[in-house]
A and B are shown apart, each in its own frame.
Chain A
Amino acid sequence: MAINTDKNSYTIIFAIIMVVVVGSLLAGFASGLKPMIDANKRYEKQQNILYAMGINNNEGANDVEFITTDAVEGEFAKYITKQLVIEGDEATENNEAYLIDIKKEATKAKDAGYTRKLPLFIGTKDGKEIYVAPVRGKGLWDAIWGFIAMDKNMTIQGVYFDHKGETPGLGAEIKQRFFMDDFVGESFLKDGNFGSILVAKGNNDPKNMDKSDQEVDALAGATITGDGLSAMLKKDIKMYVPYFKTLNK
């Protein structure tokens, strides 16, 4: 082998070939696996929505167990009776509402001329209509998001929260059962007016017995995540208020 590997030209050619080979290899992998990854993301969303509605595989008191991925599509079709896209005053039925990327919608909505598309999922459970709205906001380190299931009076029936990179043991506890279950029974409407639900410190109600105070007990050591969550609920659920008002006319 008489290649002089120290020559500059050799180094450059080597680098170029390496980049081309690695680039096409990765591109091949990414496009080959994309359909499966997308399907997984879709299932996750459906699992989250159903979880918020109270349809899950929870057994123990601390479980957060989704419907299995094999069953989720069937269950989703069974329980979610209607998917709406709300644009301004208009609500149209759209069976692909759950594919709306609310992160992208939030960015587009910064342009004043754009009417934001709001997805809303309507399901029936035990004969009761349940409305599930997605929310998305900022935690301490990165994005937090969730799904809020409400009845037509905007009283919470169930929630699901998730996060990208909150601190384990502190902010990451928002996806724990005890925290999410605290929201059940609180309402976004008080005397017919919108008031958001706050993640509050020192509300003297740690067991959350009082369901009319629009407050849930905060997590210790997760002030900023909790504040982010309060802000997320306020900002995103508020947009749905006009629609809920039309329901209660």
Chain B
Amino acid sequence: MGLLSKKDRKLILDPLADDNPITIQVLGICSALAITAQLKPSIVMAVSVIFVLGVGNVVISLMRNIIPSKIRIIVQLIVVATLVIIVDQVLKAFAYSLSKELSVFIGLIITNCIIMGRFEAFALGNGPWRSFLDGVGNALGYGVILIIVGFFRELLGSGTLFGFKVLGDSVEKTGLYAIGYENNGFMVLPPMALIVVGIIIWVQRSRNKALIEEH
């Protein structure tokens, strides 16, 4: 990887694992619980957040010297809101059924704490290229968890992936269902997302001792 310096690489890779916004910083949980019942919306949400956070970080970073500090939070909000409305409109125009499925959650990207957090903590103090990497990195870290959770919830809850019946047909009792396997209906409900995220945090911390806090 000659493209990125070591420091830049860290910006992308750190949020994927050791500084993951969901599992380590525990930010952006609400949307992670709400939309991960299936894999497809999880991926669309991940892509939307990558766009909003990547572009948003660059915009804020470019304006960092001219934003009046008194109204900087408002300026940040306007930037996120604008980008989110653009994403929403584009989805409505090109992926209507998907935008119906995600309904309010696209709008709720505005309130996703990861986004404002990165604007405030990173983009206001760093150049556009580094901000872009940081934004994409954090959004990827968020997206990876979303996709993992979505994968397990759809597989165990509905027995499908992307809507394809990978475990057989639950009504006609083919595949796994023929030997008595049943879908876990609880997986489809939001509380189970919390438990899945909890398990991911548990696995991650038990593998990486550096993440365990001293008491």
**Does B93 lie within 8 Å of A26, measured CB to CB?**
no
Contact with B along A46-63 (1 / 0, CB 8 A): 000000000000001110
**Does B68 lie within 8 Å of A33, measured CB to CB?**
no
**Does A11 lie within 8 Å of B71, measured CB to CB?**
yes
* Chain A residues within an 8 Å CB radius of B70: 6, 11
Our pick among B67, B82, B93, B169 for the contact of A60 (Cβ within 8 Å) is B169
* Chain B residues within an 8 Å CB radius of A168: 37, 189-190
**Does B68 lie within 8 Å of A14, measured CB to CB?**
yes
* Chain A residues within an 8 Å CB radius of B5: none
**Does A36 lie within 8 Å of B104, measured CB to CB?**
no
Most buried by B among A30, A40, A44: A40
* B66 beta carbon closer than 8 Å to chain A: yes
Q: How far is the CA of A62 from the CA of B160 in the complex (A)?
A: 13
* Chain B residues within an 8 Å CB radius of A37: 89, 92-93, 96
Q: How far is the CA of A168 from the CA of B78 in the complex (A)?
A: 30
Given the known inter-chain contacts A22-B78, A26-B85, A169-B188, please indicate yes or no for A3 contacting B66, CB distance below 8 A: yes
Q: How far is the CA of A212 from the CA of B97 in the complex (A)?
A: 36
Our pick among A18, A30, A44 for the contact of B96 (Cβ within 8 Å) is A44
* A25 beta carbon closer than 8 Å to chain B: yes
* Chain B residues within an 8 Å CB radius of A69: 96
**Does A14 lie within 8 Å of B71, measured CB to CB?**
yes
Question: Which residues of chain B from 195 to 212 have any CB-CB distance to chain A below 8 Å in the complex?
Answer: none
* A15 beta carbon closer than 8 Å to chain B: yes
* Chain B residues within an 8 Å CB radius of A29: 85-86, 89
**Does A18 lie within 8 Å of B89, measured CB to CB?**
no
* A193 beta carbon closer than 8 Å to chain B: no
Our pick among A36, A60, A165 for the contact of B171 (Cβ within 8 Å) is A60
Our pick among B67, B74, B92 for the contact of A5 (Cβ within 8 Å) is B67
* B176 beta carbon closer than 8 Å to chain A: no
* Chain A residues within an 8 Å CB radius of B85: 26, 29
**Does A62 lie within 8 Å of B171, measured CB to CB?**
yes
Nearest-neighbor residue (CB-CB) of A1 within chain B: B65
Q: How far is the CA of A26 from the CA of B83 in the complex (A)?
A: 9
* A244 beta carbon closer than 8 Å to chain B: no
Question: Which residues of chain B from 165 to 196 have any CB-CB distance to chain A below 8 Å in the complex?
Answer: 165, 169, 171-172, 188-190
* Chain B residues within an 8 Å CB radius of A114: none
Known A11-B71, A15-B71, A168-B37; further 20 A-B contacts with Cβ < 8 A: A6-B68, A6-B69, A6-B70, A11-B70, A14-B66, A18-B75, A22-B78, A22-B82, A29-B85, A29-B86, A29-B89, A36-B94, A37-B93, A37-B96, A40-B92, A44-B96, A60-B171, A61-B171, A168-B190, A169-B188
* Chain A residues within an 8 Å CB radius of B169: 60
* Chain A residues within an 8 Å CB radius of B96: 37, 40-41, 43-44, 69
27 contacts across the A-B interface (CB closer than 8 A): A3-B66, A5-B67, A5-B68, A6-B68, A11-B68, A11-B71, A14-B66, A14-B71, A14-B75, A18-B75, A18-B78, A25-B82, A26-B82, A26-B85, A29-B86, A33-B93, A36-B94, A37-B89, A37-B92, A37-B93, A40-B93, A60-B165, A60-B169, A60-B171, A62-B171, A164-B103, A168-B190
